[in-house]
């Protein structure tokens, strides 16, 4: 069983993915973290994330066995890394290097301790379209750029970090633009994805709506 969740930055994909994974007892992979880890690795080398050769090399250097510990690095969450991620994500060599890893996880999912799971939930930008076109359930989770910026703003404030709404909104729009207009695997809903506009919903409502949609389809 594979559940694919795609959508733009800060739309609530990750929260929904984790809730569904927990509910069904499936393993979860936040594929954005893979791109973030590549962006981070390039920044650590003091290099430009748009440099194709260096970014592709960093993506190829991933060892699937150590992936869990790499993806836990808290530095992956910050906005600088997010921006670097969306730059390396444009590079076809980077996407190709991460594809097998994501497909392997979808088909042979495992929990953090290595135990196999009977299903997987993957969230990203191209899961339903490119990584797992045959996923059993596909969601495209979205919300207006203003609502998404507001959520990020509150998240940062709550964490006691400096936050500027206008800068966050501009960053989100720039990332949307880059993600939607790239040639390889752009951000878009799969034809058979269920669209979930979360602009006026909280996380619990989004989860409940998703469960209702699954129940209707798999009754």
Where does this chain bind ligand CDP (CB under 6 A)? 9-10, 31-32, 35-36, 82, 85-86, 89, 124-127, 175, 179
Closest CA to 7 of 186, 158, 174: 186
| Nearest approach, Cβ of residue 216 and ligand CDP (Å) | 26
| Nearest approach, Cβ of residue 212 and ligand CDP (Å) | 24
158, with CB counted inside 10 A (0-12, 13-18, 19+), is exposed
Residue 182 CA to its chain's centroid (Å)? 16
Q: Which of 10, 143 has the CB closer to ligand CDP?
A: 10
Q: Which of 31, 120 has the CB closer to ligand CDP?
A: 31
| Nearest approach, Cβ of residue 45 and ligand CDP (Å) | 19
| Nearest approach, Cβ of residue 219 and ligand CDP (Å) | 30
Residues 6+ apart with CB under 8 A from 160: none
Q: Which of 35, 207 has the CB closer to ligand CDP?
A: 35
Q: What is the 3-state secondary structure (H, E, C) of 149-170?
A: HHHHHHHHHHCCCCCCHHHHHH
């Amino acid at each position: 069983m594979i559940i694919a969740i795609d959508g733009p930055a800060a739309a609530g994909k990750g929260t929904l993915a984790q809730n569904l994974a927990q509910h069904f007892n499936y393993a979860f992979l936040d594929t954005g973290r893979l791109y973030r880890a590549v962006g981070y690795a390039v920044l650590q080398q003091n290099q430009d994330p748009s440099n194709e050769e260096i970014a592709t090399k960093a993506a190829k250097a991933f060892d699937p066995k150590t992936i869990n510990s790499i993806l836990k690095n808290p530095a992956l969450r910050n906005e600088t890394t997010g921006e670097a991620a969306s730059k390396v994500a444009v590079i076809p060599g980077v996407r190709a290097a991460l594809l097998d890893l994501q497909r392997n996880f979808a088909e042979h999912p495992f929990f953090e301790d290595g135990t196999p799971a009977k299903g997987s939930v993957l969230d990203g930008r191209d899961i339903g379209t490119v990584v797992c076109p045959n996923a059993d359930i596909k969601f495209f989770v979205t919300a207006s750029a203003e609502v998404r910026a507001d959520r990020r703003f509150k998240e940062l404030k709550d964490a006691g970090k400096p936050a500027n709404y206008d800068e966050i909104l501009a960053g989100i729009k720039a990332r949307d633009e880059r993600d939607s207009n790239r040639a390889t695997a752009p951000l878009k809903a799969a034809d058979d994805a269920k669209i979930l506009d979360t602009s006026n919903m909280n996380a619990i409502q989004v989860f409940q709506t998703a469960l209702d949609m699954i129940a209707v389809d798999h009754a």
